[in-house]
Amino acid sequence: MSPFETICRLYLEHPQEAPFEYYLVWHHRHGFVYSTPGFFIMGRHVSRELFNPNKLEYFSPEDSDAWYVHAMAGSMAKAWSILPWELPYLMWERLTESGRDLRCYPFSDVRRLTDLAGSVVKPTPHEFELTPVA
């Protein structure tokens, strides 16, 4: 199964507020989407202070200090190389039994660990040894 197919399956298994196609088009217009045989990633730049994960909202690049990864599957180490520019933080949500859990980490820590591990995101992501940003 390709990384894109993995994401499509996850959206079917864990329905969101809107269908996958809606988020895909929105991120094409206001963020980034990359789909290769090795990874799929879509996200956008955000302000950690103003970000609400339940709302699709555009932030100007000048006001952004983090990348929010809306969906990802495949090789994390390869995916980091395509981010449009470097920002100090990386954010994502994990699906848990009780809902969604927003995570924020220094980008340099995530990159270092995934580069060392050559990490591949599984349909149920595992935790790294990271210290969340408060």
Structure confidence by residue, pLDDT tens digits, 67-109: 999 999 988 777 777 888 889 999 998 877 777 789 898 988 8
Which neighbouring-strand residues pair with 25?
Answer: none
Q: Give me the torsion for CA of 108, 34, 66, 76, rounded to 10°.
A: -30
Q: Which of the residue ranges 34-38, 44-48, 51-55, 128-132 has the most confident prediction, judged by mean pLDDT? A: 44-48
**Domain assignment of residue 68, yes or no:** yes
Tokens of 100: 């969604």
**Domain assignment of residue 62, yes or no:** yes
Q: Strand runs (DSSP E) across 19-128, as ranges? A: 32-35, 39-46, 66-75, 89-96, 99-106, 120-121
**In terms of residue numbers, what domain contains 38?**
3-121
**Domain assignment of residue 20, yes or no:** yes
**Domain assignment of residue 46, yes or no:** yes
Task: Provide the whole-model pTM.
Answer: 0.80
Neighbours of 23 (CB within 10 A): 20
**Domain assignment of residue 132, yes or no:** no
Domain total for the chain? 1
**Domain assignment of residue 131, yes or no:** no
User: Does residue 94 contact residue 10 with C-beta atoms inside 8 Å?
Assistant: no
